Each structure stands twice: as structure tokens, then as C-alpha cells.
Amino acid sequence: MDMFPWAQDQVVKSTLQAVIAGTRISQASAADTIQLLTKEGVSHMRHLVGYHFYAKYLPTNRHGKSWGAGQPTGWVDHYTAAPGAKGTIMWFSNMDRGPTGGNSSSHYVIDKDGTVMTMVDPLTTVAWHATWSNPTHIGVEHVCTGLLRKSPEGKFIYLEKSPYPENLVPALQEINGQFWEPFTVPQLLSNLAIKRLLIRALPTLQIDKFVDHQVIDPKNKIDCGPLWPLGELNKLAFSFSPLVEEMDWMSNILMTKEVVDSFKAAVAALVP
């Protein structure tokens, strides 16, 4: 079973498969794979935003200085609050955002099909993604609209005014009267694989500092929301327990409540 069909580089693909299977690769191999992943991500981003845009505005300059001594120690999971990757890649580029656009970025953007695109080198450089945690935490964005709202006409919207695609509405999950876009299994697989790579490449990383955005800024942020299995992913990332290909959640396309429940049950069985 190819769990990473988006990966074009065969070394990247085989290494991702190996870490998902529980292999603890060397620190050097992990770092090399992360660098290869960065190179591959260029082609994915060019496909999304176009060669002209990429040549003009990428790679992004929206980042800080090099990690300090003993850093990074943590990780922050985010969602993009939009249903597509293109806008996020463009937003994190050097494109002019106007006077109120801010200067945010992230280390990775993980698309719905699991494609991993590197915006800022996580091995060397600080990204601007979660206020006070930036100097110590890697930041990863997952393409997901997250919490949806309804317009006065009863249509789902995001970012307060943008219409949510009608064809995606049937997959929304209602929790306590709120509607959330689900994450995808490919995103979970890529998240887990990248976490395992970076845990091997950066021995400073600590499981108790792997959080999502709402933990960093609870007054202003709600991502990643109730459909994100944060604790289960982190435990599995650090345990290096092998994933079983027959697990039900791996055959699903969208994260539904049933998939979340089966994922949690599978992780509980694997993690001591």
C-alpha cells in the first residue's frame, strides 16, 4: 500500500513509508530526507501557484533568524481556515499583503491529499506562526477550513464572508451545534511521518511541547478544533509504534466521527 502517493522522490517516499512502519532512522538520514522533501515541495508549489508567481514571490522571506541553542523544543499544529492550499501558499509568500496583512508564515503546509510543502526550513530557521512560541516551536499548517459559519441566507461561509464549496458540505461534521470541516487521513499520515522525521533529526523536541494553536493563544485561536486527534498523533509520533495497514481509518478519504473514533482506538492499542 502506497501511503504517500504524492511523493515523487523515491527516497522520500521509501523513507516516509519506513518511519510510518516504525523504523527509527538515523539523525543524518532524517535530516537528509527533510532536505529532499523541501526540494520536492518546490514542484508542488509551482503547480499550485504557477511558475511566474513562484519565480517572483517564493521562497518566502517571512521568517525569523536561526534557532537558538537547544531549540526548537516544540511543535504547533494549525489549520489554514480555508479549503484550498493555493491561497495559503500565496499568503505565506513574499506577495504584498497590504498594510494590515501582517507577516505570518509556517514551516510546512500539508494539503488535503497529504502533499507536504516547505515554506521555512524547520531544521534551521524560525517561522512566524504562533506569537510567543515562534522562537521555540515548529509550525505546521493543515489545509482545512475548520469551523464554518452560516450567512443570513443559510449558506456556509468561512473567513466571515467567503462561500464554502457546496460539494464539500455533505462531509461537514456537526459537534454541539457547530459545523466543522474534517481533516483527511492523508494529512494525518503526513503529519505523523513529518513529526517522526523531525523527532529523529532534532533531539531537542519534547512531547509535552507538541500542541495545537488554541493551546498557544486560547483567547484568539480555535485550531485545530475537536476533529484533530492531537494527543493520539503525538503519542504515536514519539512511540514509533508501527501502523497496521488494515486499520479502518486508513482506507477512508475524509475524517468523519467514525474515522476519528477508529483512529483513537487503533492508537490506544499501539501506544503503551
**Domains of the chain: residue spans and CATH:** 10-145+175-270 (3.40.80.10)
Q: What CA–CA distance (Å, rounded) separates 81 from 158? A: 7
Share of the chain above pLDDT 70, in %: 89
Question: What is the reported pLDDT for 21?
Answer: 85
The DSSP bridge pattern shows strands 162-163 and 156-158 to be: antiparallel
Question: What is the reported pLDDT for 272?
Answer: 45
Confidence of residue 120 (pLDDT cuts 50, 70, 90): very high
Record the cell numbers describing residue 200, joined without a space: 529523529
| Contact present, 198 and 234 (Cβ < 8 Å) | no
185-243: pLDDT as tens digits: 889 889 999 999 999 999 999 999 999 999 999 999 999 999 898 988 898 899 998 77
Q: What CA–CA distance (Å, rounded) separates 227 from 146? A: 9
131-174: pLDDT as tens digits: 999 999 999 999 999 999 999 888 999 988 899 999 999 889 89
Confidence of residue 245 (pLDDT cuts 50, 70, 90): very low
**C-alpha of 224 from chain center:** 10
Q: Is the backbone of residue 163 left (phi > 0), alpha (psi -120 to 50) or beta?
A: beta
Question: What is the reported pLDDT for 27?
Answer: 98
Which amino acid is it at 111?
D
**C-alpha of 205 from chain center:** 17
Run of H or E residues at 173: strand 173-175
